[in-house]
């Protein structure tokens, strides 16, 4: 333990020592300029400056190596900084050797070495800063035009085409964040604090300090507490690299508050407005309650279909440019066999249908019952009775049914019980009395009946 503590102590001198070689290398490069180069003793001073630059870079690299032994750094980010740091030490040594009086080489070699040392100094400094403060340290508060050019925008996995019940919150939203920020220090080989986060079982087991996550309890969820600390706190996690962003912390907080369930799908969670906005922006997940027409995915129809509809006396329009579902209205006085055939042929595409005042009869309704994506049906001013509507029970997505000025009576309520998707039914100017509506209202808590007062 004493040896480990000493290694950590010496390693932490690296940020202090790293500024010494930077200063001496820059000083040496400045003295390389012609206006600063004199004769005699000035050249000896240049040699001494390069020697101190080499020596200080060597000690800085050594302390950096000791610091890296704590296991807090991600290898893929640490390795480039280490290798370029070693190269900087070597070329600083070359810079010193080239200034020794007894060595006579063309100035061309010194100029090349100066360029290499300056380039390495910039690269090593940038990689070290990114390793400690995150890759966006320099650009975080830069003007937007600089950010867009140099800053890598984080791309989260998107789920636009997937239903909510097929997206599992921990596996697909939370665990990738933990793998990115925590797994370097908490895995099968390195389990700092006794915590192994490479598996769900390891996360559930927790570490020496307690549970990693406790459902509905942020204070007992140690991982959440540590990623939420100020970066000045010695317990802040992760200790190096890019910390969790505000939105990532917000997502983990929501998951914990919802019970920290490791297997639940997104459809099983409740959403606050902030979480809805986060899921939509970062993951393309639209958690709004969607109507049936928003869920249906169909290929666009060819123009020949629309011409055929018009020839059969239908007017039509698509719901939107991106949704090929149709709003169709029959313009004639009597529904023809040709018109019914077209409705049957393109049944999946028809979601709003207006057949008002065109002598619709029982046999016609059996064809209309095949329109599986129908959500609105206008049958007003037709000689249809309650019993004729029985065939419509196959329309599992219909929400609005207009029956005003038809022959339906109070028997219609028994028929409509088989169509639970209904939200609004128009019964004005029918044989259904206002009292009958009031009497049956309790049996249809989700349905509004519109009739005479």
Q: Are residues 305 and 327 in the same domain?
A: yes
Q: Are residues 17 and 128 in the same domain?
A: yes
Q: Are residues 337 and 412 in the same domain?
A: yes
> Residue 35: which domain range?
2-146
Show which of 236, 260, 283 is a domain's final residue.
Answer: 283
Task: Let me know if residue 156 belongs to a domain.
Answer: no
Amino acid 276: pLDDT = 93
Amino acid 33: pLDDT = 62
Q: Are residues 266 and 318 in the same domain?
A: no
Show which of 118, 146, 174 is a domain's final residue.
Answer: 146
> Token digits for 49?
């400056």
Amino acid 180: pLDDT = 87
Amino acid 6: pLDDT = 57
Mean pLDDT of the chain: 84
- Quote the number of domains for the chain: 3
> Structure pTM?
0.57
d(CA 73, CA 185): 8
Q: Which residues contact 142 (CB under 8 A, 6 or more apart)?
A: 150, 151
Q: Are residues 333 and 425 in the same domain?
A: yes
Q: Are residues 325 and 302 in the same domain?
A: yes
Task: Let me know if residue 61 belongs to a domain.
Answer: yes
Q: Are residues 330 and 425 in the same domain?
A: yes
Task: Let me know if residue 152 belongs to a domain.
Answer: no
Q: Are residues 115 and 11 in the same domain?
A: yes
Task: Let me know if residue 290 belongs to a domain.
Answer: no
Amino acid 196: pLDDT = 92
112, 106 contact by CB (below 8 A): no
- pLDDT tens digits, one per residue of 139-164: 555 666 555 555 555 556 778 777 88
Amino acid 13: pLDDT = 47
Residue with tokens 């010193």: 96
Q: Which residues of the chain have pLDDT under 70?
A: 1-25, 27-44, 69-76, 101-102, 131-156, 453
| Residue 349, domain CATH | 3.80.10.10
Q: Are residues 142 and 254 in the same domain?
A: no
Show which of 111, 146, 181 is a domain's final residue.
Answer: 146
Task: Let me know if residue 155 belongs to a domain.
Answer: no
Amino acid 30: pLDDT = 66
Amino acid 40: pLDDT = 46
- Cα-Cα end-to-end distance for the chain: 87
139, 147 contact by CB (below 8 A): yes
- pLDDT tens digits, one per residue of 412-435: 999 999 999 999 999 999 999 999
Q: Are residues 208 and 324 in the same domain?
A: no
Q: Are residues 128 and 266 in the same domain?
A: no
Element (H or E) spanning 328, and its range?
Answer: strand 323-330
265, 171 contact by CB (below 8 A): no
Task: Let me know if residue 154 belongs to a domain.
Answer: no
Q: Are residues 414 and 318 in the same domain?
A: yes
Task: Let me know if residue 159 belongs to a domain.
Answer: no
Task: Let me know if residue 99 belongs to a domain.
Answer: yes
Amino acid 324: pLDDT = 93
């Amino acid at each position: 333990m004493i040896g480990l503590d000493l290694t950590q102590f010496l390693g932490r001198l690296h940020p202090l020592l790293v500024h010494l070689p930077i200063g001496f290398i820059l000083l040496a490069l400045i003295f390389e300029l012609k206006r600063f180069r004199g004769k005699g003793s000035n050249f000896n001073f240049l040699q001494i400056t390069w020697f101190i630059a080499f020596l200080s870079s060597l000690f800085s690299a050594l302390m950096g190596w000791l610091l890296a032994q704590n296991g807090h750094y991600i290898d893929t980010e640490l390795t480039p900084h280490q290798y370029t740091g070693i190269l900087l030490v070597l070329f600083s040594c070359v810079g010193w050797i080239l200034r020794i009086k007894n060595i006579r080489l063309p100035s061309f070699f010194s100029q090349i070495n100066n360029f290499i040392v300056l380039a390495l100094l910039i690269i090593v400094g940038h990689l070290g800063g990114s390793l400690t403060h995150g890759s966006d340290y320099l650009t975080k508060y830069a003007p937007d035009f600089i950010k867009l050019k140099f800053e890598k925008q984080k791309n989260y996995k998107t789920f636009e085409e997937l239903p909510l019940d097929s997206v599992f919150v921990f596996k697909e939203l939370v665990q990738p964040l933990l793998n990115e920020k925590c797994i370097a220090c908490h895995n099968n080989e390195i389990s700092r604090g006794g915590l192994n986060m490479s598996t769900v079982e390891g996360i559930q087991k927790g570490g020496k300090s307690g549970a990693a996550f406790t459902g509905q309890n942020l204070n007992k969820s140690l991982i959440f507490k540590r990623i939420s600390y100020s970066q000045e706190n010695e317990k802040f996690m992760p200790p190096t690299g890019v910390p969790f962003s505000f939105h990532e912390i917000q997502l983990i907080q929501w998951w914990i508050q919802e019970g920290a369930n490791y297997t639940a799908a997104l459809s099983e969670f409740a959403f606050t407005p902030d979480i809805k906005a986060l899921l939509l922006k970062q993951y393309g997940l639209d958690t709004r309650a969607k109507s049936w027409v928003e869920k249906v995915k169909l290929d666009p129809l060819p123009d020949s279909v629309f011409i055929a509809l018009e020839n059969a006396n239908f007017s039509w329009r698509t719901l939107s440019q991106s949704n090929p579902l149709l709003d169709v209205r029959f313009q004639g006085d009597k529904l023809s066999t040709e018109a019914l055939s077209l409705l049957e042929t393109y049944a999946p595409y028809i979601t709003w249908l207006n057949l008002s005042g065109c002598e619709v009869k029982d046999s016609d309704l059996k064809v209309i019952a095949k329109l599986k994506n129908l959500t609105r049906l206008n049958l007003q001013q037709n000689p249809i009775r309650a019993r004729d509507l029985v065939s419509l029970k196959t329309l599992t997505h219909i929400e609005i049914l207009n029956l005003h000025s038809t022959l339906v009576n109070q028997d219609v309520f028994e028929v409509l019980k088989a169509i639970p998707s209904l939200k609004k039914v128009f019964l004005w100017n029918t044989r259904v009395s206002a009292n009958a509506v009031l009497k049956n209202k309790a049996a249809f808590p989700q349905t509004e009946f519109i009739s005479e007062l």
